[in-house]
Amino acid sequence: LIDQRKLPFEEVYVSCKSADSVAKAIKDMVVRGAPAIGVAAAYGVALAALKFSGEDKEKFADYINENIRLLSGARPTAVNLFWALDRMKKILTSDKNLEVEKIKDKLIEEAEEIEKQDLEINWKIGQNGKKIFDKATGKIKILTHCNAGALATSGYGTALAVIRSLDAEGKVANVIVDETRPFLQGARLLLFSKIYFTLKAWFAKLISITLAG
C-alpha cells in the first residue's frame, strides 16, 4: 500500500502480509478513502486465508470471521469496508461442500473481483458524470473538496474520474483544489493524484479552504 501519510513529499510503500497489518494500515490512515479501504480489507481477508493451515472447515470459518471482525473495527465510518467484508463473509457459506483450499481460492478471487468492480464503477462515474456538463459552452473550471482521486479508490477516482473524462475531450480549463482541513487531504492527496495521473502540473490550482466559500 502506498503510504498516504507521506505524500506528496515521499512515495513510500507499506508491505502488508496479514489481516492484522492491513487493519493497522487502515486504522493508521496509511490507506484512506472508502473504496480503497474496502479493497484493502478484502485483500486482508484473502491474506488471512492464505495464512491458515489445516483442513478443518469449522476452525477455518471461525478464523476468517475473527479476522473480518478485526478488519471491521479498523475504520467504523467507512461504508465500503463493511460492504467488502460482507461479500467476503458470504464466500464462507456459499458452498458448504467446498474444501478449505477451494474456499481460500474463492476468497482470493472475490478480493480481486472487488478491486476490478471498483475500477469499473469509477470509470462509469466518469462517463456518466461528464454528461452533467453536456450543455457547457466553454472550457470548465472545477472546484473539488477533500480527496476523491485515484488514491481514494482502487486506482481511477470518483470526482477525479469525471474530471479525467472531461479532460479527455478537452473540456477542462483547470481544477481548483481546496486544501481540506485538518488533514489537508485536498492539498496532499487529491492534488498529487491530479498531477500524477494527468501529468499536467498546470492542471490544478491549490487554494485555502476558506476561499472555497
Q: Distance between CA 3 and CA 31 in Å, rounded? A: 7
The predicted structure's pLDDT at residue 14: 97
The string of pLDDT tens digits covering residues 11-21 is 999 999 999 99
- Report the residue count for the chain: 213
- 45 near 19, Cβ under 8 Å? yes
Question: What is the architecture of the domain spanning 130-212?
Answer: 3-Layer(aba) Sandwich (3.40)
The string of pLDDT tens digits covering residues 59-108 is 999 999 999 999 999 998 889 999 999 999 999 988 888 999 999 999 99
Which residues lie across from 176 on neighbouring strands? Answer: 143, 205
pLDDT at 197 over 70: no
The predicted structure's pLDDT at residue 179: 78
The pair phi, psi for residue 135, each rounded to 5°, is: -90, 0
The string of pLDDT tens digits covering residues 138-185 is 999 988 888 888 899 998 899 889 999 998 999 988 888 887 777 777
pLDDT at 111 over 70: yes
pLDDT at 191 over 60: yes
When pLDDT is cut at 50, 70 and 90, the band that residue 201 belongs to is low
Mean pLDDT of the chain: 90
Q: Where is average pLDDT lowest: 51-65, 96-110, 197-211?
A: 197-211
Q: Is the bond leading into 35 cis (omega within 30 degrees of zero)?
A: no
pTM of the model: 0.89
Which residues belong to CATH 3.40.50.10470 in the chain? 130-212
Q: Distance between CA 212 and CA 176 in Å, rounded? A: 9
Average pLDDT over residues 110-137: 96
Of the CA atoms within 13 Å of residue 150, those in its CB half-sphere come to: 14
- 118 near 39, Cβ under 8 Å? yes
Which residues belong to CATH 1.20.120.420 in the chain? 19-121
Measured CA distances, 105 to 44, 49, 92, 120 (Å):
14, 9, 11, 23
In 3D space, the residue among 142, 161, 143 whose CA is nearest the CA of residue 152 turns out to be 161
The predicted structure's pLDDT at residue 198: 61
Q: Alpha helices of the chain — where are they, by DSSP H?
A: 19-27, 34-51, 57-72, 79-94, 100-129, 159-168, 185, 191-198
Measured CA distances, 139 to 69, 142, 173 (Å):
48, 10, 5
The predicted structure's pLDDT at residue 155: 85
The predicted structure's pLDDT at residue 36: 96
Q: What CATH code would you report for 19-121?
A: 1.20.120.420
143 phi-psi bin (left φ>0, alpha ψ -120 to 50, beta other): beta
